[in-house]
Amino acid sequence: MASATLANSINGYVAKLAIRRTSRSTLLVEGDSDRVILSALVNRAGRDAKLTPILIDSADTIKNTGTGNRERIEAVHATAKANGVGNYACLVDREFRNFNCTAPYRDDLPQHHVHEDVLFWTRGHSVENYLFVLDSVFRYLEIAHVSVLPLNYKEMVTGAFNAIMAEALAFSLASQGSSLIGRADKVVTMQAWGDDAGNPALDINQISGSLIARSANAASITQLVALFAKHRADILASPPTFSRWLTHGHLGTQVMWTGIGFLFSGFGIAADVVEQICRGQNDIKIRICADHWATRCQENSSEESPTALIKWLSGK
């Protein structure tokens, strides 16, 4: 029992890194979806074949720490650094750190942050924020559903995308401010969407009803409704240029895809296909959109490209 616990502890994992460092270079990320997304980047990093290959590990395999995955990774890095263990790197979610989350919204770290050479932060809240791109949405739709979509689907999605992502940001910040992020996971469905002056809009009252059914705290729900209205008004009045990065990764993903599914709900598309767009085929979506992101990173060095991490992956 003791050895099993050690193997899953911070010290036990660092011991694995020490053993592995001559045969593998390890990139430690927070979860399975992060591992899938970063795999696309590793495949395009152009790593020298003479160097040790990259192994991507997920922090959710490190147990018995009583902390979240980001904190586990930071503890691994601190312990490895203190013990002189090398040949590894870590990627953690920035979350809401160094953002001002009330109007006037502000990004006090408008770049990819690197701590002690090998502890990399995402540019925005999470790894998923790299996938909040219209062209990535089109790539998935074209591969998975193009035969059933309206002929003008690109115009439809393009015209509504900014409105959908404004709702995603408002809901993210309201959930964070009311301490309901955990309860809000997967609470947004296609039924939560409606129309506001020709734009798709979330019905926060429908969402609050779903949260009541989940036994969420009544005072927190009241706060969520008020915060959502306030954030939505502020965002629509003056959209932050960094909205993509400030949006919560998981909640934003869910709001984005259910909003896109809502756009297609009145076109005679089979209900199960619309539901796939809204909430299904998540692994396929991630892989297609991640591949598209990695291709963009390979082609340019824009702000969405984690240049320092790519350099570490390539070994150059």
Residue 234 CA neighbour count, 13 Å, CB half: 19
**Spatial separation of the C-alpha atoms in residues 277 and 144, rounded to whole Å:** 9
Mean pLDDT along residues 147-160: 96
User: Of how many residues is the chain composed?
Assistant: 316
Mean pLDDT along residues 184-200: 97
CA 31 to chain centre: 11
Q: What is the pLDDT of residues 139-151, one digit of tens each?
A: 999 999 999 999 9
Residue of 1 and 307 predicted with greater confidence: 307
Q: What is the pLDDT of residues 200-258, one digit of tens each?
A: 999 999 999 999 999 999 999 999 999 999 999 999 999 999 999 999 999 999 999 99
**Spatial separation of the C-alpha atoms in residues 246 and 124, rounded to whole Å:** 6
Residue 62 CA neighbour count, 13 Å, CB half: 28
Q: What rounded mean pLDDT belongs to the chain?
A: 94
Q: How far is CA 301 from CA 122, 143, 165, 208, 245, in A?
A: 15, 26, 24, 41, 17
Query: How many other CB atoms sit within 10 Å of the CB of residue 191?
Result: 14
Tell whether the model's pLDDT for residue 123 goes beyond 60: yes
Tell whether the model's pLDDT for residue 7 goes beyond 70: no
DSSP letter for each residue of 146-211: GGGS-TTHHHHHHHHHHHHHHHHHHHHHHHHHTT-HHHHTT---GGGEEEETTEEEE-HHHHHHHH
- Could you tell me the pTM of the whole model? 0.95
Domain regions of the chain by residue span: 2-123+301-314, 132-280
Query: How many other CB atoms sit within 10 Å of the CB of residue 207?
Result: 24
Mean pLDDT along residues 111-140: 97
Tell whether the model's pLDDT for residue 4 goes beyond 50: no
Q: What is the pLDDT of residues 51-109, one digit of tens each?
A: 999 999 999 888 766 689 999 999 999 999 999 999 999 999 999 999 999 999 999 99
Q: What is the pLDDT of residues 251-279, one digit of tens each?
A: 999 999 999 999 999 899 999 999 999 99
CA 93 to chain centre: 8
Express as a percent the part of the chain with pLDDT over 90: 91
pLDDT at 131: 97
Residue 303 CA neighbour count, 13 Å, CB half: 10
pLDDT at 64: 60
Joined tokens for residue 90: 């870590």
Q: Band of the pLDDT at 298, cuts 50, 70, 90?
A: confident
- To which residue do tokens 């790519």 refer? 310
| Strand 54-58 with 99-100, pairing | unpaired
Residue 286 CA neighbour count, 13 Å, CB half: 19
Tell whether the model's pLDDT for residue 19 goes beyond 60: yes
